A and B are shown apart, each in its own frame.
Chain A
Amino acid sequence: MTKLLPFLAFLLSFNALAELRATGDLGIVIEREDGNALIINTTEHKRLAKIEKLGDLSHASVVFSRDQRYAYVFGRDGGLTKIDMLKDAIDKRIIQAGNSIGGAISQDGKLIAVSNYTPGGVKVFSSDTLELVADIPSDYGDGLRSKVVGLVDAPGQRFVFSLFDAGEIWMADFKNPKSPVMKKFPNIGKQPYDALMSPDGHYYIAGLFGEPGLALLDLWNTEAGVKRILPDYGKDDEKLPVYKMPHLEGWAVAGDYVFAPAIGQHKVLVIDKKTWELHDTIAVAGQPVFVMARPDARQVWVNFAFPDNNQLQVIDVKDLSLHKTLSPGKGVLHMEFTPRGEQVWVALRDDNQLVVYDTDTLQEITRLPANKPNGIFFSSRAHKIGL
């Protein structure tokens, strides 16, 4: 037996060597109904592994450790799962709340924050151990707790998030994780439903559902408070029903413009980033859900709420016109660009497929099977502010 041990150790090390895997071009695809996460290789268009039993992933999002080894999956049921993409296995998993919506990783990569609906608030964990570091209940009014949305990381080891029911934006400074410093911005508008951080970490913008416009926080000048953008836009127009809440995660900033979904109108808003006034609107096929710029910002891709969720539209930023309408299949839920944008992966929930497009030719490259996929997240997010 003692003779065997070195031999076994040798075998094991050889095994580890044989399975060397880089993680910079990997990604996670969520299978919402089964509660699975697929690990995929974006260069080879391959499924590498299926990680099972992650709970209710009907609204799931993922952030990555800065070494791109670990993926943190935030589940609807309050589950927080740390996946080891080298070992194709769950490293740690906790249930941290009853109902949650998303999360973020801190600037230094050491903290994971989760935004919760029930009980409302933000919980912050060690990214290493998933031990609780801080609990921030979203108390407002008279003993009420708000659902929390639009949680992002910000430079200066901060997290910023919005309170849906309270109409507030909160900023938590975690330079000292044991005692975070809170700054609250009340009266930012009714029902902020999601928010985004500009890729340079300069602006935090919350979309409002309960009234027209967006709420803007300039992180270089927080003393100035939250400013309302486009407060009058669409005020007098009849609102069309919204069959799926838009997402602001993919901040689409292209040159001087910011692209955002209109609410209750089948339009993409083009906002001038210098004046924060409306520059133009682009009529599209339905209620936009994701409005995402290709990394080089030459194109903006848009998907839609039910019943127009079988289409994708590509806007040419050069002249702010509709470039092409694609019909990839049923239930277009999410898309993710490769790090430099030559390809985009699209989740087709009702066709149980992922489709990959060449963003230059707009031709389909390949399709991969995935059961009811809803979210696609590439490990290149590890090094992006606000994602």
Chain B
Amino acid sequence: MFKLLVLMLAATATFAGEPSPERQSTLRNMLNHDCGACHGLTLKGGLGPALLPDALAGKPDDLLISTILNGRPGTAMPPWQPFMNRDEAAWLVGILRKPETKP
């Protein structure tokens, strides 16, 4: 039992900030459909710019996370802060950088 507890704690520590599987699927759905409405289902871009790894290369995580959370004034990019927290935005940035992990 003690061993299990340690294991669980370790697991929690390792995945600190990682959204629950259920939440991950909601976020992926959001990425595909709500982000995809402007950036394209394949994230090649539409009214909004492409979000493929090449396009994001060189842009620091913090910038991307803050763009997701706060939007970009003067453009059509809205703030998604009401619908996700910083860890979730960071997780999405991770997904964007590694498209092969996308469903």
Contacts and interface: CB of A to CB of B under 8 A. Distances in A.
Interface of A: 32-33, 56-59, 76-77, 98-99, 101, 117-118, 147, 164, 191, 193, 209, 241-245, 306-307, 331, 349-350, 372
B34 A101 contact: no
Interface in B32-46: 32-34, 36-38, 40-42, 44-46
Contacts of A191: 76
Interface of B: 29, 32-34, 36-38, 40-42, 44-47, 71, 76, 78-79, 82-83
User: Chain B contact residues: over half helix, strand or loop, or mixed?
Assistant: loop
B78 A99 contact: no
Contacts of A99: 40, 44-46
A291 B72 CA distance: 27
B78 A58 contact: no
A56 B47 contact: no
B76 A209 contact: yes
Contact of B41 (A76, A241, A306): A76
8 contacts: A77-B42, A101-B46, A193-B47, A243-B34, A244-B34, A245-B38, A245-B47, A372-B33
A164 B37 CA distance: 16
Given A242-B78, A306-B34, A77 B47 contact: no
Contacts, number: 63
B34 A58 contact: no
B42 A164 contact: no
B59 to A, nearest CB: 20
Contacts of A306: 34
Contacts of B36: 58
A241 B71 contact: yes
A241 B69 CA distance: 12
Contact of A56 (B37, B40, B71): B40
Contacts of A243: 34, 78
Given A56-B41, A117-B47, A349-B33, 20 more contacts: A32-B41, A56-B40, A56-B42, A56-B44, A58-B37, A58-B40, A58-B42, A59-B46, A77-B42, A77-B44, A99-B40, A101-B47, A117-B45, A193-B47, A193-B76, A241-B78, A242-B76, A242-B78, A243-B78, A245-B38
The listed residue with most A CB atoms (<10 A of its CB), out of B41, B44, B79, B82, is: B41
Contacts of B38: 244-245
The 7 residue pairs across chains A and B that have the minimum distance between CB atoms: A58-B41, A241-B78, A306-B34, A244-B37, A58-B36, A243-B78, A56-B42
The listed residue with most A CB atoms (<10 A of its CB), out of B40, B42, B44, B76, is: B76
Contact of A331 (B33, B40, B45): B33
